[in-house]
Amino acid sequence: MTHPVPGSTAWLNQVREQPIDPERPIVDPHHHLWVSRGEFGPYLLGQLWADTGAGHNIQKTVFIECRANYREEGPEHLRSVGEAEFVAGIAKAGREGGGGAEIAGFVGHTDLRQPAAVLQEVLAAQIDAAQGLFRGIRHAGARDPNPQALSIPGRGAEGLYADADFRAGVALLGRLGYSYDTWHYHHQNPDFAALARAVPGTTLVLDHFGTPLGVGGYAGQRDTIFSRWQQDIADIARCPNVVAKLGGLAMPDNGFGWDRRALPAHSDELVEAQGRYYRHTIECFGPERCMFESNFPVDRRSLPYVSYWNAMKKIAAAYPTDEQHAMFYGTAQRVYRL
């Protein structure tokens, strides 16, 4: 018997949960869009709305760069502007079509090590192309010495966070009123903390808990890695300019194995396996500096959208109502100026 492919609609539909607290307003501050991406297939407005409209009250979303639809011609440093044009077009179609969550923010990509004049040219072009959606830049630092073990290996340069030109670019974002999103692996958390201390005037967004790895040479070391990760997260949280996104732990490289099963994960499984990461980060940062994020469609390879948000609501139930609102809506609204 052939089982549905993990991440496919048929596979995800094998687990159907009723949405918890379906009226609660939510901002999903981390999703991607693309025409096609290997085993992921297309993820465009229709697919996004199928997920965001599946039962939870997702009112707004923020697109995070994924090197989608770059320009194929023109100056190399301006090719990433194509992603802003791509997302702005989809967001406009959504506004005109109605009936789904609003794509309310765009975080693009450029190399922050570029000279200030070049960087400002790129930012101006992205701001113009994004048609009011531009909120910041993600120039990810993710780099591992054994990328062959990873399904989504990072492209970060060696020593990126300590690079003087890079730090100057991150500082420039802050002076212009924009934020910096990051993505890296757990062993890079100390380097990220040093970056945060070096650019106190810029809001830094820590994506995916700093991605604790659980595959390749990191398999079988979850508790050891978690212990060190706890200390690093507490250190990062001492930097008041950093906010944390809570999600993205269901990527294949986190090593929970849900992407290789006949059935996707249930919300109770996520709470049981990953709840300690959420609780520790909330304890360190405080709810006012935390925001839940779906990381779809990447985490779609492990669980349905409804199940992810049900898990967040189960975790959040331990906190007062105003703190729940911060994590589901308020922090994202403030940080991304929605």
pLDDT on residue 99: 84
Note the pLDDT of residue 36.
85
The answer to whether position 124 is within a domain reads yes
Q: pLDDT band for position 41 (50/70/90)?
A: confident
Over the chain, what HEC string results?
CCCCCCCCHHHHCCCCCCCCCCCCEEEEEEECCECCCHHHCCECHHHHHHHHCCCCEEEEEEEECCCCCCCCCCCHHHCCHHHHHHHHHHHHHHHHHCCCCEEEEEEECCCCCCCHHHHHHHHHHHHHHCCCCEEEEECCCCCCCCHHHCCCCCCCCCCHHHCHHHHHHHHHHHHHCCEEEECCCHHHHHHHHHHHHHCCCCCEEECHHHCCCCCHHHCCCHHHHHHHHHHHHHHHHCCCCEEEEECCCCCHHHCCCHHHCCCCCCHHHHHHHHHHHHHHHHHHHCHHHEEECCCECHHHHCCCHHHHHHHHHHHHCCCCHHHHHHHHHHHHHHHCCC
Of 68, 80, 154, 86, the residue nearest 114 (C-alpha): 80
**292 falls within a domain:** yes
Give the confidence band of 62 by pLDDT, cuts at 50, 70, 90.
Answer: very high
Q: What is the mean pLDDT of residues 295-321?
A: 97
Average pLDDT over residues 31-56: 92
Whether residue 2 lies inside any domain: the answer is: no
Residue 1 has pLDDT above 70, yes or no: no
Question: Is 97 within the bounds of a domain?
Answer: yes
Question: Is residue 304's pLDDT more than 60?
Answer: yes
- Range of the structural domain that residue 305 is part of: 25-335
- Whether 102 and 57 have beta carbons less than 8 Å apart is answered as no
pLDDT for residue 80 is more than 90:
yes
Q: Two tokens at 18?
A: 């009723």
Asked, as a colleague might, if the bond just before 145 is cis with ω within 30 of 0, I would say no
The answer to the question of residue 47 being in a domain is yes
**Is 6 part of any domain?**
no
Per the domain annotation, does 20 fall within a domain? no
- Give residue-wise pLDDT tens across range 2-25: 778 899 999 999 999 999 999 999
- The pLDDT mean for the chain works out to 96
Q: Give yes or no for residue 315 having a pLDDT over 90.
A: yes
Say if 84 falls within a structural domain.
yes
**Total number of domains constituting the chain:** 1
pLDDT value of position 98: 82
Residue with tokens 């360190």: 284
CA–CA dist 273, 268 (Å, integer): 9
- According to the model, what pLDDT value does residue 66 have? 96
CA–CA dist 150, 143 (Å, integer): 11
Closest CA to 247 of 189, 185, 309: 309
How far apart (Å, rounded) are the C-alpha atoms in residues 113 and 164?
8
Q: What is the percent of the chain where pLDDT is above 70?
A: 100
Task: Give the CATH number for residue 63.
Answer: 3.20.20.140
pLDDT in tens, 153-208: 999 999 999 999 999 999 999 999 999 999 999 999 999 999 999 999 999 999 99
- Whether the pLDDT of residue 37 is over 70: the answer is yes
Give this prediction's pTM: 0.97
